[in-house]
A = this chain, B = another copy of it.
């Protein structure tokens, strides 16, 4: 695993960080997703869509914006909204300002589903993540993770450099 290719290979510390990252992020995501599905019938991506809409102005957001904030492709979001709409948790509303555009809108029923799912989900996030972190760890992550996420926002801005 350390061939001579001219690439700057990972150091021992980086390798430990990276392998730990992979395993921790995968196991935590899987455990939380599993809990959420069983307790509420929502996938984690469903939940994120509902939370994002619940916090948006008028409980509505344009499809393209929603796809960016929930980190999924336009196609994936479009089909997810199809399914959530079939279940009555969201609705589509055309955009008057730009006739190509659509809003996804959280319904009362969608908000109720979110409210019903939230306590169990928070408990699961605690049990799977925060119960294993010290207060200092939390401070560290609250600075580091948004910083890592924002590197992608910056990248997008000068994509054509």
A58 within 8 A of B: no
User: How many angstroms between the C-alpha atoms of A27 and B149 in the bound complex?
Assistant: 7
Contacts of A13 in B (CB 8 A): 138-139, 142
Say how far A10's CB is from chain B's closest CB, in angstroms: 6
Contact of A149 (CB < 8 Å), options: B7, B23, B151: B23
Closest B residue by C-beta to A28: B148
Cβ-based interface call for A118 (8 A): yes
Q: Which of A107-140 contact B (CB under 8 A)?
A: 115, 118-119, 122-123, 125-126, 128-130, 132-133, 137-140
Residues of B within 8 A of A148 (CB): 20, 24, 27-28, 129, 132-133
